[in-house]
């Protein structure tokens, strides 16, 4: 679907015909791509992902177009893969393949405006298509003067800082600048004495984080690493297996700990292998007949989901 006046193009090829997105040209040098599946929260089918890749390939051939802007129609930016629209066991693998394709083949001059809900593998590769987005723990995109001129004021503020909870994302992403295949990263972890566990059937148990020192806004010239320890593996029978772990984010040169993450993963239906059941968790119930010592309220803003992601 094309909206608005077509610019003068440098080739004889017209823009691809799109069913799942709207293409428009707010300026002669700008392509606006709006994912147009609002009823599905702009989640992407395989066909929609392939369509985006065709648009990017066409954009690359148009020298008169300088910038591509990607956003979504309605209240969501992109809710990841539309698994309900696909059949077969290979849908997750195929969706990951297209997420990598979108991220790898997107033009260098791409801006993602993530207004509204986005979730799932960085919105199935669409967020990772942006080169004007703080992608990974580095400020490499800020180094060029021409890039800096286009940044919002807060991004160059002298007090620019990393979210304190960012280590929770780093422990999965590490130093990668690409879309992360969560299942593959989990499969690489082998625990002695424990049978292989299927990461496609796990849920979060609990997770806590201790902040010992604020992270610097760039890792350039620094060497950070995670030092991970399995604290326990507990066999819960037919219900599944619990893996409790600790991950310390450490300055490898000084040994100084910046953050410590402790958490449990529950592998559903993967117990019964003869391991220990583990300790009983202490239940801290509020005392009867006593009011709370203190009560406070925290407002949850409309942008909270963005901060979480």
Q: DSSP H helical segments within the chain, as ranges?
A: 46-60, 91-105, 121-124, 145-148, 167-173, 182-187, 304-308
What's the confidence (pLDDT) of residue 56?
A: 81
Establish if 112 belongs to a structural domain.
yes
Strands of 224-235's sheet in order across? 202-211, 257-268, 240-251, 224-235
- CB burial of residue 193 (10 Å; 0-12, 13-18, 19+): exposed
* Among the ranges given (12-26, 62-76, 191-205, 217-231), the one the predictor scored with the smallest mean pLDDT: 62-76
CB atoms within 10 A of CB 252: 11
Q: Is the pLDDT of residue 151 over 50?
A: no
What's the confidence (pLDDT) of residue 147? 39
Output the pTM of the full model: 0.51
Packing angle, helices 91-105 and 46-60, rounded to 10:
10
Of the pLDDT bands very low, low, confident and very high (cuts 50, 70, 90), residue 213 is very high
Residue 54 lies in a domain: yes
Q: 3-state DSSP call for residue 120?
A: coil
| CATH code for the domain in which residue 68 is found | 3.90.226.10
Task: Categorize the per-residue pLDDT at 301 as very low, low, confident or very high, splitting at 50, 70 and 90.
Answer: confident
Tens-place pLDDT, residues 32-45: 888 898 887 777 77
Between 106-110, 142-146, 224-228, 275-279, the lowest mean confidence (pLDDT) is in 142-146
Per-residue DSSP letter, 110: E
Residue 260 domain-assigned?
Answer: no
Work out whether the CA dihedral 40, 45, 47, 53 comes out positive or negative: positive
What is the overall mean pLDDT for the chain? Answer: 75
Q: Looking at the domain assignment, is residue 285 inside a domain?
A: no
The Cα 180–Cα 124 span in angstroms is 10
Range with lowest mean pLDDT among 14-18, 90-94, 177-181, 188-192? 90-94
Supply the pLDDT for residue 119: 45
DSSP string spanning 84-95? GG--STTHHHHH
Residue 277 lies in a domain: no
Query: Rounded mean pLDDT of 106-119?
Result: 49
| Residue 241 CB coordination number (10 Å) | 25
Please indicate, yes or no, if residue 221 is contained in any of the structural domains: no
What is the model's pLDDT at position 170?
Answer: 87
pLDDT at 124: 42
Q: How many domains does the chain have?
A: 1
Domain annotation covers residue 145: no
Q: Judging by DSSP bridges, how do beta strands 21-27 and 67-72 pair with one another?
A: unpaired
What average pLDDT does the segment 61-69 reach? 80
| Predicted pLDDT of residue 253 | 94
CA atoms within 13 A on the CB side of 155: 13
In this predicted model, which residue has the larger pLDDT, 86 or 143? 86
Report pLDDT for 260: 98
In the chain, pLDDT over 70 holds for what percent of residues? 65
Domain coverage including residue 85:
2-133
* In a domain? residue 65: yes
Answer yes or no: are the C-beta atoms of 265 and 242 closer than 8 Å. Answer: yes
């Amino acid at each position: 679907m094309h909206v608005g006046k077509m610019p003068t193009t440098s080739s004889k090829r017209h823009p691809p015909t799109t069913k799942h997105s709207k293409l428009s040209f707010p300026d002669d040098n700008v392509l606006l791509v709006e994912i147009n599946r609002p009823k599905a929260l702009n989640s992407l089918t395989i066909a929609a992902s392939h369509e985006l890749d065709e648009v990017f390939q066409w954009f690359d051939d148009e020298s008169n177009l300088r910038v591509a802007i990607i956003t979504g129609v309605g209240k969501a930016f992109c809710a990841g893969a539309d698994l309900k629209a696909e059949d077969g066991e290979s849908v997750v693998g195929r969706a990951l393949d297209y997420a990598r394709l979108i991220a790898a083949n997107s033009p260098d001059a791409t801006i993602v405006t993530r207004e509204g809900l986005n979730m799932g593998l960085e919105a199935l590769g669409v967020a990772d298509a942006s080169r004007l987005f703080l992608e990974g723990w580095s400020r490499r995109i800020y180094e060029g003067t021409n890039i800096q001129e286009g940044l919002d004021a807060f991004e160059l503020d002298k007090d620019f800082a990393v979210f304190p909870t960012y280590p929770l994302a780093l422990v999965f992403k590490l130093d990668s600048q690409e879309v992360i295949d969560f299942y593959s990263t989990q499969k690489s972890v082998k625990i002695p004495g424990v049978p292989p566990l299927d990461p496609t059937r796990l849920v979060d148990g609990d997770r806590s984080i201790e902040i010992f020192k604020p992270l610097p806004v760039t890792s350039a010239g620094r060497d950070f690493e995670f030092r991970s320890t399995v604290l326990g593996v507990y066999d819960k029978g037919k219900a599944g297996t619990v893996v409790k772990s600790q991950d310390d984010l450490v300055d490898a040169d000084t040994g100084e700990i910046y953050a410590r993450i402790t958490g449990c993963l529950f592998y559903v239906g993967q117990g019964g292998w003869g391991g220990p059941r583990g300790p009983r968790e202490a239940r801290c119930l509020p005392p009867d007949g006593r009011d709370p010592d203190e009560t406070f309220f925290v407002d949850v803003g409309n942008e909270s989901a963005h901060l979480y992601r």
